[in-house]
Amino acid sequence: MDGLDELSENEPNEKEGGYPMICDAQVHTPAVAERPERADPPNSWAGSIGKESLSSEMAAAGVDRAVLVPVDGRVDECLEWSRQEPGQYTVVAPLPPDTCLQSFDQVLTDISLLMERGCRGVRISCFTEEDIERFDRGDMDVVFRAAEALEVPFMILAASRLGSMHRIAEQFPGLKLCIDHMGIIPRHKYPDFGPLLSDLLPLADFPNVVVKLTQIIRAVDESFPYPGLHQPIQRVVDAFGPHRAFWGSDLTVYPNPYPECVELFRLALAGLSHQDLNLVMGDSICSWLSWP
């Protein structure tokens, strides 16, 4: 966690015009023929995006960098993007949920190979009933233990088991654990974020836990500037601090203009110092992933 602490001592990382360096903490890539690019139609949850389209969208929104999460096992293609544009793209590789059925040594080997190939972290999604049952039984612990041993950044989507993350954070204190999507359940609408935050915010007590503020725009039935999200965003950043709260879009499920997702955080976090906004918008996720 030292890299995050060191950021507060550095000068703000700003672009010309005074805006922070912006890094999207999650975009699913590459384009997949049978899936529409982005959320087209808007109710689609299986979108994708190609390099040309993503680069164009990023330029229009003022987004400098993106963390790529490969779809359909296409890690090599995403790694090629990062090799071609190392300052613009990096990769966090998804692990199949049944990784937990392997031995500890095999999981260590699998994660090590991904990192050697150029990935900067791994991610697992506990979304199906079977995945959640494995999580509840503790089967996933072998994966947490391996990522902890290797000191590899680990992102997890297990929103319906957010309360159980307290055990994971405590049992694996060296695990660099990222809670995806602010803990929301994808496709679920939140007229009241109170119960969700009551589970999420206590995780801020664990210094090894960070949170991605991604996909949250789809959690409200509102249009820009999404007033119902301002207070939850502010409360999460207040609790975790700007070093441990990461802006992002999960762009392929976001049907609205990309710049709105950037501007939402400038509005919601208007009370932050310029330096702290820089951290949330990009510096912190890059430091957490050891991405210079």
Domain ranges of the chain: 2-10+22-288
The pair of three-digit structure tokens given for residue 93, joined into one six-digit string: 């590789």
pTM over 0.75: yes
When computed from its CA atoms, the radius of gyration of the chain, rounded to whole angstroms, is: 18
pLDDT at 253: 87
Count Cα neighbours of 191 within 13 Å in the Cβ-side half-sphere.
0
Q: What is the dotted CATH code of the domain comprising 2-10+22-288?
A: 3.20.20.140
Strand partners, 66: 24, 89
- Please state at what angle helix 141-150 crosses helix 104-117, rounded to 10 degrees: 50
Nearest to 120 by CA among 251, 291, 238, 263: 291
pLDDT of res. 52: 94
In order along the chain (292 residues), what is the average pLDDT of each group of 10 residues?
A: 39 50 96 79 74 95 97 94 97 93 97 98 92 92 98 94 92 97 92 96 97 94 94 98 97 89 95 95 98 94
**pLDDT on residue 160:** 86
- Supply the pLDDT for residue 35: 79
**Greatest pairwise CA separation for the chain in angstroms:** 51
**46-51 long-range Cβ contacts below 8 angstroms, 24+ apart:** 47/252, 47/253, 48/252, 49/251, 49/252, 51/81
